[in-house]
Structure 1
Amino acid sequence: MKQEKFDWGYFLKHIAIIAVPVALQNLLTTTGSMVDTIMLASIGEKAVGAIGLCAQFSSLMFSGYWGFIGGGMLFFAQYWGAKDDEGITRSYGMTLLFMMTVGLVFAALAICAPEFVMGVYTDKAEIQAIGISYLRIVGFAYPLQILAMAMSALLRSIEQVRIPLYGGIASVVANCFFNYLFIFGKCGLPKMGASGAAVGTVLAGIVNLLVLISFVLYKKIPYVLEFSKHFRWTRSAVAQYLEKCFPIICNEVLIGVGNMLINVVLGRQTEQAIAAVAVFRTMEGLVIAFFSGFSNAASVLVGKEVGAGNHETAFQRAKRLVYLCSGIIGVACLVLLLVHNPLLHTLGLSGESYRIGTGMLIIYSVAAIIRMGNWAQNDTYRSAGDAAFGSILEITFMYLMVLPFVYLSNFYFHAPFLLVFAFCYIDEPIRYILMQRHLYSGKWIRPVSGPGMATIEEFRKQHGIQMKKSK
């Protein structure tokens, strides 16, 4: 059967429509974090290191709820393609409830047990004290951030990508403004140092949420505020949702725990290395922020076609999106390396901490091209209904390869810090080969919508795809 010519014009246009606003929003958020770091750098490297470790706790929370975001976007995108309004609203209700449960648990830990949290991440008493004062306040921002994240995920999935961008712009401006006031004690306010950055984060979360809700009301967008419809669940709908979410939840939680264990190693280095790690995470955020817009586009553009039953279009788009994402990340990493010298100095690194930070960036720039290719493929599989394959691979390699290499090299062989750091990415090339084989197999297209399921057997027959029969 002759394939239709691929429509590059439509493809690139819609990637830009979805990816650019998402990338801009994430870049703005990361830029805001960099401004925070620059402000805190004037206080000292210990403050930078402490807030960096607190950010790792936030990342663990992110891992806890991202499984529901990933599962939710699978349903949002496919139901959007199938024009199933009830399915979108119902899936959003489930996603929001499960995410908020995770957020409240982490908020309680941050507010009520910050000593325990900081004790896990570092053994440096001065850094612990700064982190404790920060966590007690920033914990109030977690539920706000999760509500905004859920709303943004839904809006992006239904191709309303500009609204989260507007919320992100307002949030970053508010965060920088309030941080300046409270960190340095301007306009008659108390000089709070690192705690002032936490106050700024809470107030920025409120601003972001207000902007999102205002635009949803102004544009009369359905789904988001239809509270009476959010919980019209059936047992079969909940079972299907959790079945798709479960591998993603396991993936994100177990990888989050694995990353926490890695951060425990990185948090027990010298104070210069801890500061370098904190700054590196901020700069890594620039790359991830830039990339996530394109990964989000992959999820929507592929998932939407799978939901509508256009599986061949989804298949052809997926193959091109993966290589496009990797190429774009290569360019982004090159730019980052070209400007790293003034950037690292501006972010407060000098001497030994600057040397370590430079080494980390070089290692990461090589690994990121493959790493983001794996990420793009996994997001594509999830949006098409296959939440298990990439998750199983990532968990397996994290616990059987990455963690043993990192722990043994650091605690047993006492390897140089940069070699220990390089081992964090040792599994990426192997996983990339396995992910590529799965990509070209087409077995990852597993629709959940009516139109998608009606045409899947024809697609599989056309490509000679043999699926294992469920018992």
Structure 2
Amino acid sequence: MLSETNKKILSLAVPAAFSNLFDMIQVIVDMIMLGRVSPVAIAAAGISMQFLGLLYAFMASFSVGNSAVVSRFVGAKELDEASKTTFTSSVIAFLISIPFTIFGVFFSKYVFIFMGSSEEVVKAGETYLSIISLTFPVIFIEFALYSSLNASGDTKTPLKIVVVANVINTVLAYTLIFGKFGFPALGIKGAAIATAISYYISFVLYLYVFLTKKSIVSFYPLFVKDYAKRVLGIGIPAGVERVITYFSFLLFVKMIAEYGTYTLAGYQVGLRIEGLAFMPGFGFTIAAMTLVGQSIGAKNYEEAQKLGWQTAKIASVFMGFMGVLMFLFPQYFAMIFTNDEKVIQEAILYLKVVGLTQVPLAIGFVLSGALRGAGSTKLTLLINTASLWFFRIIPAYVLSKMFGNVLYIYYAMFVETFLKAGILYYMFKKGYWKRQVKWKT
């Protein structure tokens, strides 16, 4: 039988994990359909997704802070203040979205030029991204609303919304890309229109939830300057961390790309497979942020620490199980994505290494989330950025040049994952984050 604590953790983590899974499925479905159009369409949409990944990194500058502040107010049972924070964060989100929207609508082609794309990809990409960019204000605000629901302990509503949005996107994409049911075949433009419509419908559903008070947190139309400072004070370091991580990841991929097309393809296949293990990790990270933040709001710091530990343990079991499967049966996973023997062998190499890192990766995910829920985003910025560069990027570069084998890049990644998990474990256990908590009620 599950304990009440474990039930509480799983009730938050499982819907959050599935929400992330359905987000991934939407991208995969779109890419599969565009694969029937042309390689140009796939390349254009793929680069657009990378740009959207950068946007999600910037969104952490308000979403993480909003989650921490809202969860504390919920824990303190100050729901009006939580609702004011939600409205304040939504205004911040809208303001941050404006420059990205302007750039995306009028200058999106430069993203593809910067990536060295062909003229065909630049033209197709500009068409796709300029349409998607019209949804940026909606996406940014929705992210604030999404983080507020999670912080209030409601991860089921975002799951329901993403399922509805995915179904709508799939039907519209099929209709508009291939020209079904009397509509013209629009190709990549159709994919963009379908995605944009699904984003707007998702946003309307979120507004319905908040405006009709279907959640314990709603809209309280009052911009509170002090809450804005708290949200950004916690969120900006998290945003900086995500942006640094994003560009560091690109450097890591660039190192792997130097070993040739098959190695890069194998790595990409392995990464997609590993992404399935990430889903429970993301879910438990959200659970840790929420539960730690609410416990701090209730001024129960020992409970916050207990819930952080327990969430990390459960996440380790889920991701550890996935790691065992990746280590023992990597070829079967790789064969789902490709039948090229060279690519499969390269994917197997990656999967065997990362399969052994899933437990420390789970600990790193969850304890980083717990520290963010406690408001210690400067600490996670320092730990995660320093670890990434001093234990992974620099050693991987040096070892790669010394031995000329991609396996040494993966070894550096392996060691860094364990070291970072150990540092986060030590810092969370030491309770440094408790001394950082300054909460005024």
Structure-2 residue corresponding to 1:468:
none
Q: Tell me how large the CA RMSD over aligned residues is.
A: 3.2
Q: In the alignment, which of 391, 416, 438 is matched to residue 427 of structure 2? A: 438
Q: How is 1:82-231 mapped onto 2 (pairs within 5 angstroms)?
A: 82-122=76-116, 128=122, 130-221=124-215, 223-226=217-220, 228-229=221-222, 231=223
Structure-1 residue corresponding to 2:364:
374
User: Quick check: 1:34 aligned with 2:28?
Assistant: yes
TM-score (norm 2): 0.87
User: Cα distance, 1:64 vs. partner?
Assistant: 1.0
Greater shift after overlay, 60-69 or 264-273? 264-273
Q: Retained in 1: the 8 A contact 2:323–2:357?
A: no
Structure-1 residue corresponding to 2:416:
427
Structure-2 residue corresponding to 1:455:
none
Report the secondary structure of 1:243's partner residue.
Answer: helix
Structure-2 residue corresponding to 1:232:
224
* Alignment coverage as a number of residue pairs: 440
Percentage of pairs with the same residue:
20
Q: How is 1:317-466 mapped onto 2 (pairs within 5 angstroms)?
A: 317-335=307-325, 344=334, 347=337, 350-407=340-397, 415-416=404-405, 419-420=408-409, 423-424=412-413, 426-445=415-434, 446-450=436-440
Report the secondary structure of 1:309's partner residue.
Answer: coil
Amino acid at match of 2:73: Y
Greater shift after overlay, 184-193 or 269-278? 269-278
Distance 1:206 1:21, change over 3 A: same
After superposition, give the CA deviation of every residue in 1:352-407 in whole Å (9 maximum; x if it has no partner): 44444444444333334322321211110121232222210111233334333455
Distance 1:372 1:103, change over 3 A: farther
Structure-2 residue corresponding to 1:24:
18
Structure-2 residue corresponding to 1:309:
299
Report the secondary structure of 1:388's partner residue.
Answer: helix
Distance 1:130 1:285, change over 3 A: farther
Distance 1:269 1:116, change over 3 A: farther
User: Cα distance, 1:335 vs. partner?
Assistant: 4.8
Amino acid at match of 1:15: I
Distance 1:203 1:240, change over 3 A: closer
Structure-2 separation of matches of 1:133 and 1:408: 41
Report the secondary structure of 1:160's partner residue.
Answer: coil
Q: Retained in 2: the 8 A contact 1:31–1:286?
A: no
Structure-1 separation of matches of 2:31 and 2:394: 32
Q: Which runs of 5+ in 2 are unaligned?
A: none
Q: Retained in 1: the 8 A contact 2:70–2:85?
A: yes
Q: Retained in 1: the 8 A contact 2:161–2:202?
A: yes
Structure-1 separation of matches of 2:266 and 2:46: 10
Amino acid at match of 1:435: L
- After TM superposition, which residue ranges in structure 1, 4 or more long, deviate above 6 angstroms? 337-340
Q: Retained in 1: the 8 A contact 2:85–2:224?
A: no
Structure-2 separation of matches of 1:97 and 1:268: 44
Greater shift after overlay, 357-366 or 340-349? 340-349
Amino acid at match of 2:428: L
Structure-1 separation of matches of 2:309 and 2:123: 49
User: Cα distance, 1:32 vs. partner?
Assistant: 2.2
Q: Which runs of 5+ in 1 are unaligned?
A: 1-6, 452-471
Distance 1:253 1:448, change over 3 A: same
Amino acid at match of 2:283: G
TM-score (norm 1): 0.82
Amino acid at match of 1:176: T
Q: Retained in 1: the 8 A contact 2:169–2:195?
A: yes
